[in-house]
């Protein structure tokens, strides 16, 4: 099949970013607007519990109507996606839209199947049908499953998801791959390790521990706390996704990591020490079902082909993250007044 390649190095670009009001999406939009001064972004977000338009309130004020446009809607809405693509003459889609929390997927997998699988397929089909030149799908290291004490995930590691969340992301990855193989459509898949940084919803480990420690509440730690994750500061991940968009090979898959493997309990103790709180706040709780023991990313392919390397080590990243949450108590209070508290009470209420 003859494939016409688009020169993604040209500027400006017009991007449809989905899920842009979420944690990583919002940071990505900020990164693009700061580093690509002529790019235009259309943000399609369903604005579920973790999609907070306040994450981009200042962006809306500065760039709204010129370089930034927000559309509320579902990636499963074909008519809306087609309208945005045509009316804004979109060059590329960057798909962050997803249900992402493992505990929620264990509680009910249905929204994960609807958004992560069916929604991605609809968006992918619509983008291809309406002439979008490249589709970047943002995935996760969790599709690879779990590691033993040694080794790292590479792009050739077989997919072996162990939770409903990771299974839904793996399904989406396979649909994107199949679209490239079947139709010759220009797609790129990125997979990253655990993100942290500003604007992260406080159901994830680092913001949850920061918010509870700030309030002198018990810090729930699953199992023995020795589950190991490779932590990447969100700005580094956003840099990697943009490199993949502009330089990645058609049909390519790229891993991004932070070269910062840490047991969860070490992360928790680092946060407590930084906030001057006692380790007696730690409360071990029954382990999560299917809890992967260790993740670690081999991102050497991204180094070779894209020039990617993380700029933040964990010590710098966690310091900046804690400082951001301390300085943005109003944002955190607004989050904690909603659905988040009810869900956390359901999962942890009887154990802490």
What is the assigned CATH class of domain 14-193+234-256+294-312?
alpha beta
Give the pLDDT confidence score for residue 310 in this predicted structure: 98
Summarised one tens digit per residue, pLDDT across range 173-199 is 999 999 999 999 999 999 999 999 999
Residues noted as catalytic? 141-142, 165
**350-to-94, 157, 344, 346 alpha-carbon distances in Å:** 40, 38, 10, 8
- pLDDT grade, residue 165 (50/70/90)? very high
Q: Which of 268, 273, 206, 254 is nearest to 233 (CA)?
A: 206
Summarised one tens digit per residue, pLDDT across range 147-159 is 999 999 999 999 9
State how far the Cα of 314 lies from the Cα of 258, in Å rounded to an integer.
Answer: 8
Summarised one tens digit per residue, pLDDT across range 293-322 is 999 999 999 999 999 999 999 999 999 999
Q: Which of 94, 76, 85, 175 is nearest to 138 (CA)?
A: 94
Summarised one tens digit per residue, pLDDT across range 36-80 is 999 999 999 999 888 888 899 999 999 999 999 999 999 999 999
- pLDDT grade, residue 10 (50/70/90)? low
Asked whether 242 and 39 are in contact (CB, 8 A), the reply is no
Domain boundaries, the chain: 14-193+234-256+294-312
State how far the Cα of 90 lies from the Cα of 109, in Å rounded to an integer.
Answer: 32
Residue 81 has pLDDT above 90, yes or no: yes
Give the pLDDT confidence score for residue 338 in this predicted structure: 57
Give the pLDDT confidence score for residue 288 in this predicted structure: 87
Summarised one tens digit per residue, pLDDT across range 331-350 is 888 776 555 445 444 544 54
Question: 83 or 201: whose pLDDT is higher?
Answer: 83
Give me the chain's average pLDDT, please: 92
Q: 73 φ, ψ to 5°? A: 170, 175
CA atoms within 13 A on the CB side of 17: 30
Residue 3 has pLDDT above 50, yes or no: no
């Amino acid at each position: 099949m003859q494939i016409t390649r688009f020169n993604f190095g040209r500027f400006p670009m017009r991007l449809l970013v989905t899920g842009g009001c979420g944690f990583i999406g919002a940071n990505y939009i900020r990164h693009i607007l700061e580093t690509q001064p002529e790019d235009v972004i259309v943000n399609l977000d369903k604005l579920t519990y973790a999609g907070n338009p306040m994450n981009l309130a200042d962006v809306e004020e500065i760039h709204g109507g010129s370089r930034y446009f927000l559309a509320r809607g579902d990636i499963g809405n074909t008519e809306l996606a087609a309208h945005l693509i045509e009316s804004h003459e979109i060059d590329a889609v960057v798909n962050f839209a997803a249900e992402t929390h493992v505990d929620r997927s264990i509680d009910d997998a249905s929204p994960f199947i609807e958004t992560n699988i069916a929604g991605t397929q609809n968006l992918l089909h619509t983008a291809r049908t309406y002439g979008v030149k490249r589709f970047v799908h943002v995935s996760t290291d969790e599709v690879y499953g779990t590691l033993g004490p040694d080794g790292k995930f590479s792009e050739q590691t077989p997919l072996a998801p162990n939770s409903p969340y990771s299974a839904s992301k793996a399904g989406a990855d396979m649909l994107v791959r199949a679209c490239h193989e079947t139709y010759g459509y220009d797609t790129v898949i990125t997979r990253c390790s655990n993100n942290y940084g500003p604007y992260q919803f406080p159901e994830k480990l680092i913001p949850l521990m920061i918010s509870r420690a700030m309030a002198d509440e018990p810090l729930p730690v699953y199992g023995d706390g020795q589950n190991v994750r490779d932590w990447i500061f969100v700005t580094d991940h956003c840099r990697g996704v943009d490199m993949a968009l502009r330089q990645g090979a058609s049909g390519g898959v790229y891993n991004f990591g932070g070269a910062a493997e840490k047991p969860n309990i070490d992360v928790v103790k680092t946060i407590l020490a930084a906030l001057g709180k006692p380790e007696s706040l730690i409360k071990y709780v029954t382990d999560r079902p299917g809890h992967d023991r260790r993740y670690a990313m081999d991102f050497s392919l991204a180094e070779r082909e894209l020039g990617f390397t993380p700029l933040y080590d964990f010590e710098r990243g966690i310091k900046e993250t804690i400082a951001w949450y301390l300085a943005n108590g109003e944002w955190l209070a607004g989050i904690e007044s909603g659905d988040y508290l009810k869900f956390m009470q359901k999962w942890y209420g009887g154990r802490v």
